[in-house]
Amino acid sequence: MDKTELLYDHYKETYALHSDMVKKRDAFFVMLCIGITLLFCFLLSPSEVFTSISEMAKDYFSLKLPFQFTIIQSFVWVIILHLFMRYMQTNIYIERQYKYIEKLEMGISQSFQVTFSRESANYENEYPLVLNAIHIIYVWVFPILSIIIIALKIYFEKIQNINIIPFIFDSIIAIIIILLNIFYLSFLHKK
């Protein structure tokens, strides 16, 4: 196997890993949207959401929830934190891979003396306006909206005078999520 074949095989494997991570990122994004929506519902109508979760647990799993509302809510916070971490890790991996894939494509182009730029120059050439709008939603709107919802949720938990221990726990998780979002935004926009 010569150097060019080795480079091309490496490119195919790298791109396959990249594509797999894009699928994972999309799945994490959907789960994160569901989790944030659930948190938002807890913000609007906590007792109704808790009742619905209890009924679903009873209907689908024949399980009676022996927990208080605050325990379920804290569990949702933990799940959202985990989803945020996985979503951000995956997306940062994907963003970092674009430069590497571009280098591989340039190396293959030089080796074969052809234009090989599916994921680099060709992808960015004549980038459609709709993709710019979608990009803005992913890298600005979603993180900022998440920060706003999380800040509002923790603010209303404080107003509702719930048990202090779950509130402290939820507040710590909320602060971590907000900080992660800020760090994530700074990573995406450092260019």
Q: What is the mean pLDDT of residues 110-114?
A: 76
Q: What is the mean pLDDT of residues 57-64?
A: 79
Q: Name the more confident of 71 and 174.
A: 174
3-state DSSP: the chain helix, strand, coil percent, rounded to 5?
85, 0, 15
Mean residue pLDDT across the chain: 86
Cα 133 to Cα 89: distance, rounded to the nearest angstrom: 23
Element (H, E) at 72: helix 69-112
Say if residues 146 and 181 touch (Cβ distance below 8 Å): yes
User: Is the per-residue pLDDT at 93 higher than 80?
Assistant: yes
Half-sphere exposure of residue 164: CA atoms within 13 angstroms, side-chain side: 0
* Cα angle for residues 35, 27, 125 (degrees, 5° grid): 125
Helix (H, G, I), strand (E, B) or coil at 189: coil
Q: What is the mean pLDDT of residues 141-152?
A: 94
Q: What is the separation of C-alpha 39 from the centre of its chain, rounded to a whole number of angstroms?
A: 15
Cα separation of the two ends of the chain: 38
Say if residues 21 and 87 touch (Cβ distance below 8 Å): no
* Cα angle for residues 103, 106, 109 (degrees, 5° grid): 150
- pTM of the predicted model, to two decimals? 0.84
User: Is the per-residue pLDDT at 4 higher than 70?
Assistant: yes
